Structure 1
Amino acid sequence: MAFWGNRQKALEAKLESGKADIGERGAVTSGTNMDGFVALMIDIVEANGLAHAEIHRTKGVLTLPGFFRPTKLWDILVINKGRLVAAIEMKSHVGPSFSNNANNRAEEAIGTAHDFWTAYREGAFGMDTPRPFIGWLVMVEDAHRSRRPPKGRKAKAHFPMFPEFVGASYLERYDILCQKLVRENLYGATCALSSPREAVDTGDYADLSELTGIRSFVSAFAGHIAAEAARG
């Protein structure tokens, strides 16, 4: 409800100011869409023993050093006594276009994790720092276009794609991506949720699988926070 409500408020504000972006971009550029999820993560940190930790959520203090690039901007950073405890990135994907944007999301998620862990290996966050938690969450619109498989290319590919992607819808592909990001140990947890626009009134949503569901994400994140709290 918060996601769709914030999105609608942002679009209305843009229209009232006379600075509306083309199409639905005005609902995206406000930067408030994921605030409900941000609030949830903050609650988890505070409820699991790190209420005294620094929880950063404003742009000026959300950058971390990278290895292949100078810095990376995250959505939430948790720092305790100078130690990086957790970094979380949150994305959303609302239609009408799903094809190019889905690939871009995948490339960003993979690249971000690889850059982070290389920087960690090289001591960017301190040489004796325990392994931080990094998480990736995406909220995808549940719509006809996201539920249907992409149209196949007429040209014959040089090599076949992995079978799990054949005939998979965009929602299913997001789930596959998130599962693989965890299984390849790129993220401590990932989450792929789907929700229709009508959820602004109902709050309806669906997990795409148990591994990438919100409960699994919250459990992994809460466990890491509790472990850090136990260190003192």
Structure 2
Amino acid sequence: MGLDLVNYEAKAREAVKAFWGNREAARKKQIEAGKADQGERAGVTSGKNMDGFIALILDIIRANGLAHAEIHQKRAVLTLPGYFRPTKLWDLLVIHKGELIAAIELKSQVGPSFGNNFNNRTEEAIGTAHDLWTAYREEAFGKQPRPFVGWVMMVEDAPGSRAAVRDASPHFPVFEEFRGASYIKRYDLLCQRLVKEQLYTTAALITSERSAVSTGTYSEVSAMTGLKAFVAALAGHVAAEASRLE
């Protein structure tokens, strides 16, 4: 029996349209209320920007054998115990028969401040995963197989994210692959290495221009960090866990 990838490309395009549409709707709502945030923050305060991608993930889970799993999306039930801190708030949790099946983070970044935000996202992604796997080792979730741990990143395709970036490292040279790399390329390298170092089961990078609000057009940088790799890995994990637990 093959995996069901639920026509993920079409649903991803709808998610991209929703991403840009929700940002603009949030910005307009704040302006109309007379209390608009500064800069890009006006587009993120609604908290709904990545909901289309969450809907896609839910379809994958339900279509591959875990339709009756507990799928948590509300803030009050999204925390897991940590090892270096008491708890960590995730974006999506899947629990079935008392076992953690999947924990997923969905993040986004639009310009203009790609530099500072890239560093913050990098530190957050690494720290979150290291904390979870250490807690798992210490049986914070009980004795169970390794859960699926996923990271999805949506980055605005813009001159600032595509341009070559210089780095200052006066004492030791940076790795060659980072020299002059754009922020989109750096996110791609980050996602690849998060998976290579087994910090995440899979990590996906999606780029899109603001004009995609009407088309849903998006791009992928490499096969390893593409959306197909993410949904296929998730579908496979869900199917395997469904077979084991049912």
TM-score normalized by structure 1?
0.97
How far is 1:130 from its partner? 1.1
Aligned to 1:143: 158
Is 1:160 aligned with 2:176?
Answer: no
Aligned to 2:199: 186
Cα displacement string for residues 187-227 of structure 1 (whole angstroms, at most 9, x for unaligned residues): 00000110000000111110110000000000001110101
Aligned to 1:103: 119
How far is 1:6 from its partner? 1.2
Aligned to 2:41: 25
The aligned amino acid for 2:79 is T
Residue correspondence of structure 1 range 1-232 to structure 2 within 5 A = 1-126=17-142, 128-153=143-168, 157-231=170-244, 232=246
How far is 1:20 from its partner? 1.5
The aligned amino acid for 1:73 is L
1:206 alignment partner, SS class: coil
Cα displacement string for residues 73-129 of structure 1 (whole angstroms, at most 9, x for unaligned residues): 111000001111000001001001111110110010000010000000001101x21
Extract structure 1 runs of 4+ deviating beyond 4 A.
none
How far is 1:18 from its partner? 2.3
The aligned amino acid for 1:175 is D
The aligned amino acid for 2:160 is R
| In 2: Cα distance, 1:201 partner to 1:137 partner | 22
What CA RMSD, in Å, does the superposition of the two structures yield over aligned residues? 0.9
Stretches of structure 1 that go unaligned for 5 or more consecutive residues are none
Cα displacement string for residues 124-164 of structure 1 (whole angstroms, at most 9, x for unaligned residues): 101x21110100010000000100112343xx610001111
How far is 1:19 from its partner? 2.5
| In 2: Cα distance, 1:221 partner to 1:6 partner | 26
8 Å Cα contact 1:99-1:150 kept in structure 2 = no
How far is 1:8 from its partner? 1.0
| In 2: Cα distance, 1:205 partner to 1:78 partner | 27
The aligned amino acid for 1:50 is L
8 Å Cα contact 1:83-1:125 kept in structure 2 = yes
| In 1: Cα distance, 2:176 partner to 2:154 partner | 25
Identity of aligned residues (%): 64
The aligned amino acid for 2:64 is N
Compare relative contact order (CA 8 Å, sep 6+) and give the higher one, 1 or 2.
Answer: 2
